[in-house]
Structure 1
Amino acid sequence: MKQLLILFTFFSISCFSQEEISTELVETKTLNADKLVSIDNFEATYFIKNNAIKKATVNDTLNYSNFQLGQISSANAFNPLKINLFYSDFNTVIILDNRLAEVAKIDFNSTENYKNITHVTTGFDNTIWIYNQDFQYLELYDYQTKKTRYKTIPVSSKVLDLTSNYNYCWLLTENFLYCYNYFGSVVYKLPNSGFTNLQATKENLIIKGKDGLIYYSSKDQTQKAIKTSNMLINQFFVTNQILYIYTLKTLSKFQLKTD
């Protein structure tokens, strides 16, 4: 019986160790920011400092600020040609181009149908995903036609985070994690077991939980812990299998080894 227990323990530890994804530290550099927003394919870094969004490249730093709208509540640069900034105090979204020039302003207080918005993320074409707090559902909103293309069914718990790519949108609530397609239909739904934030990487997710970061594969529906040397994670971002962790004015770049 004792040998059987030892064998079972060894098997359990072996299986658990296979559920981890290793990382390789590529570089660490200083970043003086209030919040990391994104890093694009050309290594341009988008961040918020003193209530302004900045785009820093090797040769230049661009800025955009609109202090009349209050504090920037969230920023999304998944599509660097159509960056969206959300100002919750004024229920307004600003769309910027890749030079951080303003191309559209959506004031949901003055739209045909008033919308009380709490979360915003990127959609496809001229759309953004918005969470309507009054009706507790997501809307795929076309800011050119000023019409909602699709709506999801309402959710019943508090929203924690929202992220997207061109094909899917993920809504994290206190009770569940929802994945929607661009028609607003549920693709899958997972119980929230301590998740607090999430980032999309192609069709998969990097999720921040109570014990660190998790890699969720939508293909085989598995969750694997990501080894990050127990470092403090204030914010994280992922693109092209590269994981960025920002903490205490330091930006660390890791190669994810998912194969």
Structure 2
Amino acid sequence: MMKSALSFIILLVFTSGFGQNPKLKTTELNAQALEDKIYVGFDGLGNNYFIKNNVFIKQNEAQTWEYKNVALGKITSVDYVNPLKILVFYEDFNTIILLDNQLNEIQKLNLFEIDNTIFASKIGMASQNQFWIYNALTQQIMLFDYLKNTSKTVGNPIAENIKYIQSDFNNFYWIDEINNWYSIDIFGKVTLLANIPPFEKIQIVDHEKLLFSRDNTLYCLNNQSKTVFEIEIVEKSFQNFYYKDQILAIFTNQQIKNFKIKLP
């Protein structure tokens, strides 16, 4: 009861005055055609990542690399938090592929063969030669050592339905069906960060900030100051967005536009 009341209070803080938010200005840097590709995002080394016809593509101004594995079905997700070790996840076959920076296959991990009690629905790169795994079978978060093929659970089972999941080297984040935003670290410490406004698309930046879109408007939530900012962009409609290192990419069916922005 106390936890629900706290979440409600936090939500009131974020949503009161919603629609009269302070504005964040952007500076347009460049634009490029998307050419029927699904834009995944970019890294800090000048590479863009795409999926086209179930082929994973890495591209920069000088070169293009591709990875495909038709035997494993549709690509579920890609994690390139470490651009030198990229994860490609195929949920239908419970399989993780580890690629090098030229998209050569380093390792293939069929989780059914390693441990048939693991049914992954989300994976991500963690620290110390480990993957984050959300095990849909037990509703628990796990750390999987991909050198030893061993795993351990962290934290208790998650009782609520999960709407969104994201991870970095040291933290696994999730947002549940009532928009509670949590994190768990590699030692199993769970933190309720906030109860956030309704969203359509979302990206967690860190413990303090996230970006979300609603009704073709893009917002930045600062969890420390309990403030929601509206991000000024000229696009009247867009499919999704991606932010990293003060660069915001907005993409539609036809193109990607990159903006410079400083988040508060």
- What is the TM-score with the length of structure 2 in the denominator? 0.83
Q: Does 1:249 align with 2:246?
A: no
Q: Deviations over 1:109-158 (max 9, x none)?
A: 11234211111222123222111112112212222122224423222333
Aligned mates of 1:54, 1:106 — CA distance in 2? 21
After superposing the two structures, state which structure 1 stretch, 23-32 or 217-226, moved more: 217-226
Asked if 1:56 is matched to 2:59, the reply is: yes
Kindly report which structure 2 residues correspond to 1:85-100, keeping only aligned pairs within 5 A, or say none: 85-100=88-103
Aligned-partner SS, 1:257: coil
Moved over 4 A (4+): none
CA gap 1:62/1:220 in 2 versus in 1, 3 angstroms:
same
Return closer, same or farther for 1:88/1:243 CA change in 2, 3 Å cut-off.
Answer: same
**Could you say which residue in structure 2 is the equivalent of 1:208?**
212
Selected match of 1:225 from 218, 224, 230 = 230
Shift of the alpha carbon at 1:230?
A: 5.1
Change over 3 Å in CA distance of 1:35–1:159 after alignment to 2: farther
The answer as to 2:37 corresponding to 1:34 is yes
Give unmatched runs, 5+ long, in structure 2: 1-15
Supply the distance in 1 between the matched residues of 2:202 and 2:145 (Cα, whole angstroms).
24
Distance 1:27 1:85, change over 3 A: same
Counterpart of 1:172 in structure 2 is 175
Partners of 1:196 and 1:167 lie apart in 2 by 26
Across the aligned residues of Structure 1 and Structure 2, the Cα RMSD in angstroms comes to 2.3
Whether the 8 Å CA contact 1:215–1:223 is kept in 2: the answer is: yes
SS in 1 for 2:51: strand
1:79 to partner: Cα distance: 1.0
State the percentage of identical aligned residues. 28
**Paired residues of 1:93 and 1:105 also in contact (CA < 8 A):** yes
Read off the aligned partner of 2:86 and give its amino acid letter.
I
Deviation at 1:168, TM superposition (A): 2.1
Structure number, greater radius of gyration: 1
Tell me if structure 2 keeps the 8 A contact 1:213–1:225. yes
Secondary structure of the residue aligned to 2:62 is coil
User: Which structure 1 residue ranges, 5 or more long, are not aligned?
Assistant: 1-11
One-letter identity of the residue aligned with 1:63: E
Q: Is the 8 A contact 1:162 1:198 kept in 2?
A: no
CA distance in 2, matches of 1:128, 1:247: 31
SS in 1 for 2:41: strand
Q: What's the secondary structure of 1:120's corresponding residue?
A: strand
Q: CA deviation at 1:86?
A: 1.0
